[in-house]
Structure 1
Amino acid sequence: MLSALILLPLFGAALIGFLPIAMNGKISRGITLVFSAIAFLWTIVLAIQFNPGQVTQQFAEFIPWVDVLGLNYNLGIDGLSMPLLLLNGLLTCIAIYSSDESLHRPRFYYSLLLLLNAGVTGAFLAQDLLLFFLFYELELIPLYLLIAIWGGQRRGYAATKFLIYTALSGILILASFLGLVWLSHAPSFALASLNSKALPLGTQILLLAGILVGFGIKIPLVPFHTWLPDAHVEASTPISVLLAGVLLKLGTYGLLRFGMNLLPEAWSYLAPWLAIWAVVSVLYGASCAIAQKDMKKMVAYSSIGHMGYVLLAAAAATPLSVLGTVMQMVSHGLISALLFLLVGIVYKKAGSRDLDVLKGLLNPERGMPVIGSLMVLGVMASAGIPGMVGFISEFIIFRGSFPVFPVQTLLSMIGTGLTAVYFLHLLNRAFFGRLSVQVMNLPRVYWSDRLPSVVLAILIVILGIQPAWLIHWTEPTITAMVNAQNVVAISPDKIKGN
């Protein structure tokens, strides 16, 4: 049942890439959308059959693969991965639908999108360290090519920078995985067979450091963030949707699954420093976003700040805060995808993302009133206004983290206020006031262009009003995971005393 989620996009990529018939952009997009929609619908079927009360892996598949390496084809779903699989399926469909029919080399483009979907899906399903690493690396090349071929003017530089950073991330993760398995004398790379508690604390900290930096690059956290703004600015809108909405979540997912879950003692020891790291990322990302004049770059820097909330909650390691990490991953995926879609429409119709050029786009007669209204909703959600999914996710994080790290939590809450500052600046400059002369004659925005944004906006409001629909999948798994590992953050005073 789970292999179908990986094989469907792989088969679709092979069909589009190698079928010996003429295929234009419209046909290629249609076939790709069919395969991605079937995979997404199959994920929904699995979600309906998913039992939230069962905290162990469900729909598990196990096939021996390379016995001499201890590598097995081992898949499963739990409450941590289920929401992310749904998010991946939804945003992949939206990215394909939003792609330009007239782009060059469409068959190659859509094949890469399906390969990217298969790699991310496999990473969320993998219950084997080495298998996860293979899928984690599988998404690297498609995304590099999608930026390098269909990106902006500086696409070569941005794609190469992304490739170098992500390759370094993979090296550190693989080294930590190998060290964890070999030093603990585990019989295989299966998650269930690993027991790091027998390792000395110093060894655990060294292994965890590699995992933290490796996944910190992917999230990205300061100072490993510099590849992200360049990648977003040069990537096309659909690729930015996937990059911010799904691919960054591989980093936060990896921290929870392979950092906190496998090395709880080292995680507890480093937790105070992780909380400080989170505060730095939150405030730095928000401060950089305030200084931007490019709308897309502003949204990119906002992602750095919002991913810092996830690290703060994971460092606190309470059942409530870790539940907030999953909520934040889903809410950020929906909100960032909405914002990038809207910025892409503005750029396509107005020809600019510069806040010094754009003005008055909310004009009801000659502007983009619907796009402007959706942008207001997206900004409100990102700033944590009640009634939106962004509010409930951040509230759960702050509520769960405050008892453990009160000062760091209060400092991170400043980031929420700064989010309102820079996004209100964006709205004021680009959407309010008199329509600027440079963008006086705007092309019409059709409902086919607005449809993906409307779908995301509806989900943001629904999950904000009824977050229990998302929480019920995750809460039992998260609570069991935290309690089983007995992850308790050590206060800085105790560390100094030791």
Structure 2
Amino acid sequence: MLSALILLPIVIAALIGFWPGSVTGKVARQVALVVTGAVFIWSLVLLFQFNPGNESLQFQESWLWIDAIGFSYSLGVDGLSIPLLILNGLLTVMALYSTDENIERPRFYYALVLLLNAGVAGAFLAQDLLLFFLFYEIELIPLYLLIAIWGGQRRGYAATKFLLYTALSGILILAAFLGLVFISGTSSFAYSEARTMASLLPLGRQLLLLVAIIIGFGIKIPLVPFHTWLPDAHVEASTPISMLLAGVLLKLGTYGLLRFGVELFPEAWTFLAPGLAIWAVVSVLYGSLTAISQRDMKKMVAFSSVGHMGYILLAAAAATPLSLVASVLQMVSHGLISALLFFLVGIIYKKTGSRDLDTLNGLFNRERGLPLIGSLMVVGVMASAGIPGMVGFISEFLIFRGSFPVFPVQTLLCMIGTGLTAVYLLILLDRAFFGRLSAKVLNLPSVNWAERTPGIILAILIVILGVQPGWLVHLSETTTAAMFIGN
């Protein structure tokens, strides 16, 4: 059941890319949409069959792959991974639907997006350390090419920077995984066995391995000072790829922290937790303050991601039952909100030819502006700023509520970041949408309903999950409660 989520996109990507006859861009697009839609629907089928009250892995698949090194093909899903699996399927469909129908080299593009979807799904499902690393590295290649080929003017620089940072991340993670297996003397890379052996290691060795894991995934999240690849990648990437990068790819880092940090090394995690909470504060405040100074709308939203991902580190550092389930909620919340914001910025750039806040003005103009896009932007801004009724509010509130008993000062400082979020996003709204329509962007092309659809769907989901966050909490609370370090 789980292998289908990985193998179907890979097989269809190969067919699209290497089909001997001519395949038009329209056909490639339709096939890719059908396949990703089927994968998303299949993930929903798994969701309806998933038992939230069971903390153990479900729908498991496992067989030994390479006996000599104890490498197994082992998949499973629990309350930590299934929300992210569904998010991956949803946002891939949204990204493909948002792609320009006249994109150059369409067969290659759609094949890469399918491979990216399969790699991310495989990483969320993998229950073997080497298998996780394999999928973690597989997603690197398509994303690099998607930025390097279809990106902006400085796409080569941005893609290379992304590649170098992510390669370093992978090296550190692989070193930690290999170190855990060799030091513990186990003959298998199975996650369940590694979890048992990790708890038996002396604290000093646990700390050494955990630091490598934290830095490795900290680069992917990204946390300050490992964040510098992210703004460049976002600015140069096309709109659909920015949606996937912020909405899904960054979650591999936060997922890895919980799965391979909190869960594998609870004793060492507790030892490092105060420092991690301080690191979270630095990332939140730096990301928020830097976003305020930006004039490029896309770069502003990119730096906001740095700040919002810091909240997840704070929740993981506190590692209380409430903060851990809130961290999963924040991953889904940030995925939806950031995808919406990048989608809307992409529409604005497509219609006006600019993302410069010093150039744009008055886009709320009913007759000659982009009023519906402005309305959706208000929803995204309100959600990101933590306004009640939106999913961003409840995820951040639960993080603060769960983290405050453990780290009161750090939590209060992170709460300042919520206020700063409102500041820079209100600056974006005020400069781009209010006032008189700028003479530089008159006679804007209209936004048809097909172009609006992804934004409307994402906005509706943000409101629905804001009103009914219990659905996500119920889905993950049993799994995250079992991770609670106090157990």
TM-score range for the pair, normalised by the shorter chain length = over 0.9
Q: Are the aligned partners of 2:329 and 2:472 in contact in 1 as well (CA < 8 Å)? A: yes
Q: Secondary structure at the match of 2:309?
A: helix
Code of the aligned partner of 2:369: G
Code of the aligned partner of 1:402: F
Q: Deviations over 1:406-444 (max 9, x none)?
A: 000000000000000000000000000000000011001
Cα shift at 1:486: 3.3
Determine the structure 2 residue equivalent to 1:190: 190
Code of the aligned partner of 2:191: L
Q: 2:472 aligns with which of 470, 473, 483?
A: 470
Q: Are the aligned partners of 1:140 and 1:163 in contact in 2 as well (CA < 8 Å)? A: yes
Q: Which runs of 5+ in 1 are unaligned?
A: 488-498
Distance 1:32 1:21 in 2: 17
Equivalent residue runs for 1:226-375 within 5 Å:
226-375=228-377
Cα shift at 1:345: 0.1
Q: Greater CA deviation, 456-465 or 9-18?
A: 9-18
Q: Deviations over 1:346-398 (max 9, x none)?
A: 00000000000000001111100000000001000000000000000000000
Q: Are the aligned partners of 1:388 and 1:461 in contact in 2 as well (CA < 8 Å)? A: yes
Q: Greater CA deviation, 335-344 or 196-205?
A: 196-205
Distance 1:330 1:356 in 2: 32
Q: Are the aligned partners of 2:180 and 2:209 in contact in 1 as well (CA < 8 Å)? A: yes
Q: Secondary structure at the match of 1:59?
A: strand
Distance 1:40 1:198 in 2: 39
Do residues 131 (structure 1) and 156 (structure 2) align? no
Do residues 79 (structure 1) and 79 (structure 2) align? yes
Cα shift at 1:186: 2.1
Cα shift at 1:182: 1.2
Q: Secondary structure at the match of 1:348?
A: helix
Q: Are the aligned partners of 1:398 and 1:409 in contact in 2 as well (CA < 8 Å)? A: yes
Q: Secondary structure at the match of 1:74?
A: strand
Code of the aligned partner of 1:218: K
Q: Are the aligned partners of 2:379 and 2:459 in contact in 1 as well (CA < 8 Å)? A: yes
Cα shift at 1:63: 1.1
Determine the structure 1 residue equivalent to 2:178: 178
Determine the structure 2 residue equivalent to 1:31: 31
Q: Deviations over 1:299-323 (max 9, x none)?
A: 0000000000000000000000001
Q: TM-score, normalised by structure 2?
A: 0.99
Q: 1:409 aligns with which of 408, 411, 415?
A: 411
Q: Deviations over 1:87-119 (max 9, x none)?
A: 000000000110011111000000000000000
Distance 1:424 1:206 in 2: 43
Code of the aligned partner of 1:286: S
Code of the aligned partner of 1:442: L
Q: Greater CA deviation, 455-464 or 22-31?
A: 22-31
Q: 2:213 aligns with which of 211, 230, 236?
A: 211
RMSD between superposed Cα atoms in Å: 0.7
Q: Are the aligned partners of 1:80 and 1:478 in contact in 2 as well (CA < 8 Å)? A: yes
Distance 1:449 1:229 in 2: 25
Distance 1:356 1:38 in 2: 43
Q: Are the aligned partners of 2:288 and 2:303 in contact in 1 as well (CA < 8 Å)? A: yes
Q: Secondary structure at the match of 2:258?
A: helix
Distance 1:204 1:469 in 2: 35
Equivalent residue runs for 1:109-148 within 5 Å:
109-148=109-148
Cα shift at 1:469: 1.3
| Count of aligned pairs between the two proteins | 485
Distance 2:440 2:324 in 1: 47
Cα shift at 1:187: 2.6
Q: Are the aligned partners of 1:361 and 1:369 in contact in 2 as well (CA < 8 Å)? A: yes
Q: TM-score, normalised by structure 1?
A: 0.97
Cα shift at 1:18: 1.2
Q: Are the aligned partners of 1:274 and 1:312 in contact in 2 as well (CA < 8 Å)? A: yes
Distance 1:438 1:20 in 2: 47
Q: Are the aligned partners of 2:69 and 2:187 in contact in 1 as well (CA < 8 Å)? A: no
Distance 1:413 1:138 in 2: 36
Cα shift at 1:293: 0.2
Q: Are the aligned partners of 2:248 and 2:335 in contact in 1 as well (CA < 8 Å)? A: yes
Q: Secondary structure at the match of 1:457?
A: helix
Do residues 2 (structure 1) and 24 (structure 2) align? no
Runs (4 or more) in structure 1 with deviation over 3 Å come to: none
Q: Are the aligned partners of 1:187 and 1:193 in contact in 2 as well (CA < 8 Å)? A: no
Identity, in percent, stands at 73
Distance 2:199 2:83 in 1: 29
Cα shift at 1:16: 0.6
Cα shift at 1:166: 0.2
Q: Which runs of 5+ in 2 are unaligned?
A: none
Q: Greater CA deviation, 312-321 or 11-20?
A: 11-20
Distance 1:320 1:290 in 2: 31
Determine the structure 2 residue equivalent to 1:386: 388
Q: 2:451 aligns with which of 427, 432, 449?
A: 449
Distance 1:322 1:104 in 2: 43
Equivalent residue runs for 1:11-30 within 5 Å:
11-30=11-30
Distance 1:344 1:106 in 2: 19
